[in-house]
Structure 1
Amino acid sequence: MRVAENGKAQRRARAEGPAAGDPLEQARRLLDAGEPGLAELSAAVGLSVSHLQRSFRRRFGLSPADYLAQRKLGSLRASLREGRDISAALYDAGYGSPSRVYETGAARLGMTPARYRAGGDGEDVRWSLVYTVLGQALVATTQRGICMVELGEDADALEARLRDEFPRARLQRVDAGRDEFLAPRVRAVAEALAGNAVEVPLALVGTAFQKRVWDALMKIPSGQTRSYAELAASLGAPRAARAVASACARNRVAVVVPCHRVIRGDGSLGGYRWGPDVKRGLLARESSGQAPA
């Protein structure tokens, strides 16, 4: 049944004009329409497997397999958010069995499909407010690690952002110094915001491409910057500068995941979730080799 569906999807994608002269665009359309294997995809677009792999990653920032996995996960997310039955949502998204999404998708959802559909229902998130060299920060963590670091002087606004991100999770505010689990994590974040090199356990939830961008950000040395285009090129996806900028905007962990080190190609700052003044100050202090004062 699946083979027949893939064959129909291939014929349909070939017939849809714009992709016809571009094998990579044709490959993307085939992945959007069905679930062809790599060898099948290679034969359909007339490229060798290795050439297809390299070129597809360069164009779209993901391997064909990762692109397909992300497309399926996006479909699953949409169905779950609409309140659809979990089994039906899994089947419609293309997962052959519930075990497949638990093996591959749950890590990217950050929780099980049932919890995701329920807005994080049942997830434990502990959080605290702490004053740092950059001002007030909200630090939130799951059992896996830090899931949010937000900066701002309005405590109510910070809490509202946390609740927007985890609308049905069990949110527990604690005094950082009185919680043996949260306290060392809050101290580590405070040290990181002060510009000190410390190990901070993270629980980053995002798509495969977003995680690649965030990993690349954490490899940029303090005192250096990269343009969005340079970061995209370093990921083997030189045309994905806009996707890189979008991933930076979706970063929820201030400074620890240093999206402030990415600027525009003309040298201007570009956007920053926590404001241009914070970004400008961080870059100035890092370039001078000083910790924030």
Structure 2
Amino acid sequence: MVKIADIEVGEFPLLLAPMEDVSDPPFRAVCKENGADLMYTEFISSEGLIRDAAKSLQKLDIYDYERPIGIQIFGDKIESMREAAAIAEEANPELIDINYGCPVKKVACKGAGAGILLDIPKMERMTAEIVKRVNKPVTVKTRLGWDHDTIKILEVAKRLQDVGIQALTIHGRTRQQMYKGEADWSYIEEVKNHPDIHIPIFGNGDIDSPEKAKEYKDTYGVDGIMIGRAAIGYPWIFNEIKHYLATGEKLAPPTFQQRLAAVRSHLKFSVEWKEGNKGIFEMRRHYTNYFRGIPGIKPYRARLVETPTYEETLAVLDELENVFGDMEMAEH
């Protein structure tokens, strides 16, 4: 059983990655229902939390069925991160997670997210201050380095472990790579197998099938896997991986009816959580992935992206059920 501090997260936990504008409560709900063991909120700006910014505060919303769950924060100022961690702790998650991996320019080039990989001593100081400020276990998600010439992930892991983090997730790319090229898990393996490392090490990057999950589990020996983009519109990947690891057999892909049920559930929660039209708009990014690979779906998908009301969206989904309801689904 893998434990983060005293929190049991499964024999080989599958984690849902914190993804901005994706990993909100409605999306997390369908992922939890389909086998995610540990989830994180979207990353939350430390400055936004301190200023009581409405968007940042809403990201603190967590629900009991999601547990265990971590709240992830980011920022470049140590004092702000300390205070944001304390605010996040009041929302009563199981974990506080620090984002040292976001590669996007507006975050990284200001010294937050993956930007702090250029200043490892500051990363260590910031982490130590957060660990001291909160009572909840603190975890970290990071990347291999800023670029190939600055990869010091083993040093990072040791220093963060020494100041008290309880688990580390490593995305096997540098900041410079963004999401391009192949994730290099050999560095993750080096950290996991080092005799000085005793906290759980989770690997992230490129896991998009049960076969790949098993291959990477067996090859690199990580304690668990974090899945991000592959779960968007396909939350079934968590249970598919679990089934494959347990039996060596692949589950049948979700039927069209199962996909439709997930969309309806996701949409309903989105509308309730974001109070109406905003929930409808934010759902639009998911339709392409939920209905990927279905011949003839394109005009219906275009309508789903254009419908302005919940009732009209439900009507289009009803049409889809009439047209495609009996379709056999191909493998993901």
Same fold at TM > 0.5: no
The TM-score normalised by the length of structure 2 is 0.30
TM-score by length of 1: 0.33
Q: Which has the larger radius of gyration?
A: 1
